[in-house]
Chains A and B, each alone.
Chain A
Amino acid sequence: MPIGDRKREIRARMLVNGAATGPLTALDNPISFWGGVDLATGKLSNPSHPQCGVSLRHAIVLMPHTIGSTAGPGALLELLAADLGPAAILLDEGDPAPVVASRVLSFIGETATPVGVLSKEGYAAAKAWRDANAVLKDGVLSPVTATS
């Protein structure tokens, strides 16, 4: 899907380094990984979230931050280890919860899932690419255009 003629890039401050490719799934509200995501499917499961049913699996997930139970990283770790979790997580504010879950993943011998923070402007710009395929590499997010 063509996104535009101009090649665009958004720089992320990476909290956990890594590369990812996938659809850019933008969550309008924060989520809790504990009780907010179905651990058997990777889909949002809290009926009070406006995007309940949306899958996070293999997506570059754009989300404000996490909320809810302090047990969130435990749920996120299991999702990631079971290959049901996001390909990358990009936040609009620093949040240690996804960072520590991803770091546990690398400690137990799996590939860490990249986690980054975008600036306010970068976050808003990335939201405009929602559902496009995107690449995150070396701290740079860019949409995959039809010609690239």
Chain B
Amino acid sequence: MTPRLDLTAAEQKSLSGDDGQAMQWAMETIVAAADAMDAERLTAISSAHLVGAYHSGPANVALLEKLLRAEARVSVPTTLNASSADLTDDAASCFRGSAGADARKVVRMLTQMGCAASLTCAPYFLKTRPQFGDRVAWAETNAILFANSVIGARTLKTPQYLDLAAALTGKLPEADVLTDEGRAPALCIDASVLSRWWFTDAVAFELIGYAVGGIAGSRIPYVYGLPDAIDQLMLRSMCAAMGAAGGIAMAHIEGSTPEAENGRAHCEAADLFSSAIKLSDVTLFNIRKTLGDSATSPVSGVFIGSPHLGLEDIARLNQQIDDRKGALKAPLYASLGRDVYEEAARAGFIAALSARGVQFVRDTCTYYTPLADNLPLPVVTTSAKWAAYGRAGLNVDPIIATQAEAVEAALTGEFNRDDAYWRP
């Protein structure tokens, strides 16, 4: 233990084993992480979101079994991230081999510890969404970026097992973005020279986010020159793409995120504006090329919902498909959490979209499923995260597209660039 770490009597008690073996493991884990992060004390958290709701292997199962034997229980409200299979009872056969049974077992053990089986990578769409200033222990990179940047809640980029230890103890090391100083930007990114036509579609924020994440690395960026009051779904896109390209837990976006004024003051004081890195139209076209830029082509499918769709995303999709006639010529897979699915079902969107051929995948991401295996033709996605992981981890050729291009590709079975959006 670091000599600098100052523990309360209650924390010491857990560490010494007086609160049982599970709590001792959890507190030892928090203390070891505090040591690695040079924290001087621990801080209380009000909720947790765990990444480990998927089957990663036998050692993970051994850990959960041992914790359960020691009667581990979470001490704060805790939700679970997307799993490795669609576990809903009416799911199509949507997993490889024993993946469904294995994932069910992991989720069952975590729910026995008191976790809610939300199984979504978009916990900001749940009723448990934290408020500005709340300290939470979230894992899942896109959600961490959204929580810190857009909500103004405070969470470390909490790695797996530290998240579980935090849920059991209700504590995290007070370090990094949990502190005021840890939220200060370290570089400026100037988007003011971008052509204004970009901002009419969320794909712009996917490309901008991917560019910003790559430039920032692990430094918190202050991004300026974008339109004011960017809507939350577009900020969601930007956060997911930043997370897929970089190592940051937070970004400030002038005119849109709640702590941007503090960020600006810090950039002025530290003279960061003079070395701002400019984003240009060429930058974004190059990102489009990196993520997947096939020309006109027949396609094997369309994948949306990485991260999981919100109710508003589904309402927009319903509107876009409703405006057009005819059956889908290429499969359109939409992934979402089970809670949002229920809301969308109550609103009538699920029935309407299913009738048109849209296939919903709950609880998991389509890149964990056989749906995306070895597809012979390019696939279309609106998500930079899906395109990046699909290209690296699956044997597929993604194309990053606008919402309209994606829907059009599903309706016609063919991808065509929408020249009315993509100006030269």
Hey, which bits of chain A sit against chain B, CB under 8 A? 15-16, 30, 35, 39, 46-48, 65-75, 77-78, 80-82, 94-97, 99-101, 103-105, 107-108, 110, 117
Docked-complex contact A35 and B165, CB < 8 angstroms: no
User: Quick check: B160 and A68 within 8 Å, CB to CB?
Assistant: no
Q: Is the CB of A108 within 8 A of B63?
A: yes
Given contacts A100-B159, A103-B29, contact A108 B59 (CB under 8 A): yes
Question: Chain B nearest CB: distance from A22 CB in Å?
Answer: 21
User: Which residues of A sit under 8 angstroms from B139, Cβ to Cβ?
Assistant: 70-71
> Given A70-B140, A99-B36, A100-B29, are A108 and B62 also a contact pair (CB < 8 Å)?
yes
> Interface 1/0s, chain B 28-63, versus A by CB < 8 A?
110011011110000000000001101011111011
Asked whether, in the complex, the Cβ of B57 is within 8 Å of the Cβ of A39, the reply is yes
B162 interface hit (Cβ, 8 Å): yes
Residues of chain B within 8 A of A97, CB atoms compared: 159, 162
| Contact call A100/B37, Cβ cutoff below 8 A | no
When each residue 157-185 of chain B gets 1 if its CB lies under 8 Å from chain A and 0 otherwise, what string results?
A: 11111110100000001000000000000
Chain A residues with CB under 8 Å of B421's CB are none
Chain B residues contacting A30 (CB-CB under 8 Å) are 247
Is B10 interfacial (CB 8 A cutoff)? no
Residue in B closest to A110 when the chains form the complex, CB atoms? B59
Judge whether A70 and B60 touch: CB under 8 Å. Answer: no
Once the chains bind, are B66 and A107 in contact (CB under 8 Å)? yes
11 contacts between A and B (CB under 8 A): A15-B32, A15-B36, A69-B51, A70-B140, A81-B58, A82-B57, A96-B36, A97-B159, A100-B32, A100-B161, A103-B32
Complex Cα–Cα for A136 and B126 (A): 47
Contacts A35-B389, A78-B57 given; indicate if A16 touches B32 (C-beta within 8 A).
Answer: yes
Q: In the assembled complex, which residues on chain B have CB atoms less than 8 Å from the CB atom of A105?
A: 59
Please state if A70 and B247 are interface contacts (CB–CB under 8 Å): no
Which residues of chain A come closer than 8 Å to B29, judged between CB atoms? 100, 103-104
- Contact indicator B393/A68 (Cβ below 8 Å): no
Of B28, B173, B218, which one neighbours A103 at CB under 8 angstroms?
B28
Asked whether A73 and B160 contact (CB < 8 A) given A78-B58, A117-B36, the answer is yes
Cβ contact within 8 Å between A35 and B393: yes
Q: How far is the CA of A30 from the CA of B33 in the complex (A)?
A: 19
Considering the chains assembled together, what is the distance between the CA atoms of A75 and B54 in angstroms?
Answer: 11
Q: Are A77 and B56 in contact (CB under 8 A)?
A: yes
Q: Which residues of A contact B165 (CB under 8 A)?
A: 100
Q: Which residue of B lies closest to A101 (CB)?
A: B161
Name the residue among B37, B38, B160 with the largest chain A CB count within 10 angstroms: B160
A80 contact set on B, CB distance < 8 A: 59
4 A-B pairs with least C-beta separation: A78-B57, A81-B59, A96-B33, A74-B56
Question: Which of A47, A77, A100 lies at the interface centre, i.e. has the most chain B CB atoms within 10 A of its CB?
Answer: A100
Which residues of B123-165 are within 8 A (CB) of A?
A: 139-141, 144, 157-163, 165
* B36/A94 in contact, CB under 8 A: yes
Cα–Cα distance between A116 and B97 once the two chains are bound (Å): 38
Q: Shortest Cβ distance from A103 into chain B, in angstroms?
A: 5
Once bound together, how far apart are the Cα atoms of A47 and B395, in whole Å? 13
The answer to whether the Cβ of B392 comes within 8 Å of any Cβ in the partner chain is yes
B357-391 interface mask toward A, CB cutoff 8 Å, 1 = contact, 0 = none?
Answer: 00000000000000000000000000000000100
